[in-house]
Amino acid sequence: MDITTSNFNNKPTSFLQELDLRHHLHPFTDHKELKIKKPKVVVRANGVFIFDNDGKKYLDAMSGLWCVNIGYGRKELALAAQKQMEELPYYNTFFQSTHPPAIELSSKIASLAPKDLNTIFYSSSGSEANETNIRLVRHYWASLNKPSKKVIISRKNAYHGSSIGAGSLGGMSSMHAQGGLPIPDIIHINQPYWYGEGENLSPEEFGKKRALELEDKINELGSENIGAFIGEPIQGAGGVIIPPDTYWPEIQRICKDHNILLIADEVICGFGRLGFWFGSESFNIQPDIITIAKGLSSGYQPIGGSIISDKIAQTLEKKGGEFNHGYTYSAHPVAAAVALENIRILDEEKIVEKVHKTTSKYLEEKWLSLNDHPLVGEARIKGMMGAIELTPDKSHRSAFPLNEGQAGIITREICIKNGLIMRAVGDKMIISPPLIIKKCEINELMDLVYKSLDESKSHLEKLGISFR
Ligand SMILES: *Cc1c(COP(=O)(O)O)cnc(C)c1O
């Protein structure tokens, strides 16, 4: 049997781009600009590299969208999907049904998650999982006869997904500007972004100050009206914002003191990215709910979920009655089988442990050396998530006399030309490479970063920018 994945493999790039532009509306894309720049047609990938339709190779320092943790091209995951499709391609988990992949994956995740977090509600994405969290938190408090505890507090510049609820939880002003977001009863406080907003405070003072904004907000609204606080351990899409060490312990204390649930959105930080199975461990916090997706299957299948605490699971069980919520593809058997195989590989090849002990240390040392580059105001990194702040004036952390984000886009395009996928968020450049990246590939990554920053600096100088 000859199986073709797409009849459009091996077609000329210009043909593919034309047709794509005609019929495909892309996520988070300016189509007016896309028409001029043309989409990059990615056709295959292996390890930490992707290849476009013209055979050009790129080091993918973003793991796709922060998800391909075990790297590209692992045949075991393809075989797991094939076997499961042959055995049971689909069945639902509504109406008192279940299936082996759902059962095995749930018990596996429960064994890896922080203690007390032992029950999983599944979705096909991080956005859907956070939709679940909004409804679950409110249903939980209503089950305890506290229906007024509806408000969820989040942060400005947070990213929790793109659906109506998840986009509302997020604090992206560009997203809120479209489509009537946020929905009611979601409140945003300031983020722990020291480089951009810390002014003269030390990172420690600033971290504490930003955490205390949560307590102020709770006191203002009354804890009887607040259900939960949600945060990414490290903000990803917001620009790899690594909070000062003083931030999370204080947030944890405040949630406990005021009887507010803590939701850690670990869609990026989960499954090894910070050198632990969960980012909460690296910040020493005990959330009540953890959002997962992305690295759960290393992106090989769309699957996500909410890991919930025994306290919440037991409350719902005791109260009885349905939680009137679910997705056709909750615990999809093929996605679950692929996630299981992904976790098996992370586990047996000790990938998380290696990230913790060696890979992240090696990358960190190289990455922090970027602090000496004239274009860099700050290089920061934790685990396998790093950022650099571009600036014309290191000592004052100043912005460029250009439109915000223009220097970032210039730098990103130079990176792409040089065969490096590094993302720009405003004037920050960010990386989140596959966890299996080898030392020699980290060296290659750093060479490409330095080369691209040097070229970007010359380009900016030609635009009249002077560096101090
Ligand atoms: C990507 C992301 C989401 C949304 O996940 P989707 O699968 O794109 O819906 C939610 N939270 C965080 C922290 C993310 O990085």
What pLDDT, on a 0 to 100 scale, did the predictor assign at position 7? 81
List the beta strands (DSSP E) in 124-247: 151-155, 186-189, 226-231
pTM of the model: 0.97
What pLDDT, on a 0 to 100 scale, did the predictor assign at position 423? 98
pLDDT per residue as tens digits for the range 25-46: 999 999 999 999 999 999 999 9
* Pick from 235, 340, 246: nearest CA to 279: 235
* Pick from 330, 316, 306: nearest CA to 132: 306
Could you tell me which residues are beta bridge partners of residue 308?
Answer: 119, 289
Tokens at 91, concatenated? 């069945």
pLDDT per residue as tens digits for the range 317-350: 999 999 999 999 999 999 999 999 999 999 999 9
190 C-alpha to ligand 1 centroid (Å)? 20
Q: At what angle do helices 310-319 and 126-143 cross, to 10 degrees?
A: 60
What pLDDT, on a 0 to 100 scale, did the predictor assign at position 366? 98
Burial class (CB in 10 A: 0-12, 13-18, 19+), 27: exposed
Which residue type occupies 36?
I
Dist CA 296 CA 267 (whole Å): 8
Are 359 and 330 spatial neighbours (Cβ–Cβ below 8 Å)? Answer: no
Q: Which of 168, 169, 267, 327 to mutate to test the pocket of ligand 1 (most atoms within 8 A of CB)?
A: 267
- For residue 17, the SS3 value is helix
Q: At what angle do helices 75-87 and 333-348 cross, to 10 degrees?
A: 150
What pLDDT, on a 0 to 100 scale, did the predictor assign at position 14? 96
195 C-alpha to ligand 1 centroid (Å)? 24
Instruction: Assign residue 95 a region (left: φ > 0; alpha: ψ between -120 and 50; beta: otherwise).
Output: left
Q: By alpha-carbon position, which residue is closest to atom 10 of ligand 1?
A: 160
Could you tell me which residues are beta bridge partners of residue 51?
Answer: 44, 57
* Pick from 47, 70, 73: nearest CA to 60: 47
Residue 334 in contact with ligand 1 by CB distance below 6 A: no
pLDDT per residue as tens digits for the range 275-291: 999 999 999 999 999 99
What pLDDT, on a 0 to 100 scale, did the predictor assign at position 6? 80
The ligand 1 atom at the shortest distance from the C-alpha of residue 235 is 13
What pLDDT, on a 0 to 100 scale, did the predictor assign at position 4? 67
What pLDDT, on a 0 to 100 scale, did the predictor assign at position 2? 65
Catalogue all structural domains in the chain, each as residue range(s) with its CATH number: 15-73+351-462 (3.90.1150.10), 75-348 (3.40.640.10)
Tokens at 328, concatenated? 């056709």
Stretches in the chain below the pLDDT threshold 70: 1-4
What pLDDT, on a 0 to 100 scale, did the predictor assign at position 126? 98
